[in-house]
Every structure is written in structure tokens, then in C-alpha cells.
Structure 1
Amino acid sequence: MQIRSFTVPDTAAVVALWREAGLTRSWNDPQADIRRKQTTQSDMFFVAEDDGRIVGTVMVGYDGHRGWIHYLAVADDYRGTGLGRSLVGQAETALGELGCPKVQFQVRPDNITVIGFYQHLGYSSYEAVNMGKRLVDDEAALEQV
């Protein structure tokens, strides 16, 4: 198994993995998210490949203040193998090389398994209000296709 940078031919397998892992939502077009990532810090999008199969992903970003982990996914049959820990480690290493002092991510509050996974890796929750505003309506764009 190897962890390497994402390449465009990985797109279909990555989207399939994200769907399997329950990461996709109707209001986010995963292919558009991949295209967007290719325009900024594209070297910080990693896939785990085993015998030609994409079995894990992590998308990482750094805004100069904090790092972010997105789209951490591990194939069902690779969970419990340490792959998730390795992908988070890859993300932390990439961010550390940029001088990033802090890393964050978002988890839905009912996703107890993932919260426990990150707590096991030394992460903790803190009080904050999450706010956002859509600048591009992916859901409407998907409906037009």
C-alpha cells in the first residue's frame, strides 16, 4: 500500500469511495470539489492505493492561520487497519512542513464513531458556532446536468 498525491484519473474511484463512506451530500458536488482542489494546494490531496485500488483519501488545506482536514475516507474493508491514522499522519506532516500551528476539521455531531477515532488520535472538541454561506449552489448545478 502507498499514500500518494491524487491524480485526475483517480477521480471516479475517489468519488465512489466518498459515497461508500457516506461523505457526499446532495448540496456538494464531489467532482466539483475535486476540480476546485486542483486549483489550490493540489499537492495536499492524498490517496491511499493498494494493488491499484483507491482505499483511502484525505484532502488538506492551510490558510496561513490553521490547517483543515476534509474528505478523510477509508474503504469499509480497510477500517481498523491503521489506514485512517496513517492518512491523518500524512495530513499533519504536510501541514507541519508549512509551519501550520493548528489543524481542524468538522464532524457531524451524530457521527460518534468518527469523533471517537479523532479523540483516540489526540484531538478534542471545543465550543464554536459553525457558520457558512454558499457562494456556488452545487445542488442546482447538478440538477441542470
Structure 2
Amino acid sequence: MIISTLSEDRIPEVVALWEATGLTRPWNDPVADARKALANDGSTVLIGTDGHTLVASAMVGFDGHRGWVYYVAVSPDRQGMRLGEEIMHAAEEWLRGRGVGKLQLMIREENHAVRSFYRRLGYQTEQVTVMSIRL
């Protein structure tokens, strides 16, 4: 897998991957999310390709205090091949290269398989509550 930065013309492909892996929600516009990430120096979308086929992604950003990762996805037909691990290591390196000392991410409560994936990569559960309000 070759890891690079998403280009604007490939946004429909990455959104299709996010939809195929169940990452999108009706209240978030994934096209707008990708465009915002590409327009900001503090964020990007990393993609993994096999030939010309987009097979993995991770939206990564730095908020000035911590690094964050969203939309980590591996094509359903490529799961179990350690591509998720590769794209996460690339996200970690992207943040490390910007002097970020801590990466955080959020996992939906019901997503036990993903929680196990991150534990295998060395991530720990923090004793915090995430609160939000839609604006």
C-alpha cells in the first residue's frame, strides 16, 4: 500500500470508502469534512492505495493542543491485512512531524472490534467524558 495525501478529485472515492465502512452519519457532510481537512494547514486526509485503487484512509489534524484522527477506514475486502495499522502509523508520523505529543480519537460505544484494534496498537482508554453540542 502506498500512502499519500488525498487530492480534491479523489474526494468522491474516499467518501465512498467511508460509506462502505459505516463511518458516515446523516448529520455530518463527509464531502465538506474532507474539503475542510484539505484546506487547513493543521489537517489532511491520508489515503492508502493499491495501484490506483483507494483502500484506506485517515483524516488527521492538530488542534493546537492534541492530534486527532477521524474517518479511519479500510476497504471491506482488504480488512485483516494490517492496512489499518499502516494508515494509523502514517497518521501518527504526520502528527509527530508537526511536534504533536499526543494523539486522541473517539470510538462509538458499540464498536467493540475497533476498540480492540486500537488496543493492539497501544492505545489506552482515557478516563474522560466527551460532551458536545451541535451548532
Fold shared per TM-score above 0.5: yes
1:88 aligns with 2:85: no
- In structure 2, the residue matched to 1:100 is 100
- In structure 2, the residue matched to 1:63 is 63
Deviations 1:103-143 (A, max 9, x none): 000001110000000000000112211112223xxxxxxxx
- Structure 2 distance, partners of 1:59, 1:11, is 12
Q: Which runs of 5+ in 2 are unaligned?
A: none
3-state DSSP class of the match of 2:39?
coil
The amino acid of 2:66's aligned partner reads R
The amino acid of 1:105's aligned partner reads L
Deviations 1:34-84 (A, max 9, x none): 121122137631111112111100010012211001110000111111110
TM-score w.r.t. structure 1 length? 0.88
3-state DSSP class of the match of 2:22?
coil
Q: Is the 8 A contact 1:5 1:43 kept in 2?
A: no
Q: CA RMSD, aligned part only?
A: 1.3
**Number of equivalent positions:** 135
- Counterparts in 2 of 1:17 and 1:75: CA distance versus 1, 3 Å: same
- In structure 1, the residue matched to 2:40 is 40
**Percent of aligned positions that are identical:** 39
3-state DSSP class of the match of 1:44?
strand
3-state DSSP class of the match of 2:115?
helix
- In structure 2, the residue matched to 1:142 is none
Deviations 1:77-106 (A, max 9, x none): 111111100001001111111111100000
Which of structures 1 and 2 has the bigger CA Rg? Answer: 1
- In structure 2, the residue matched to 1:120 is 120
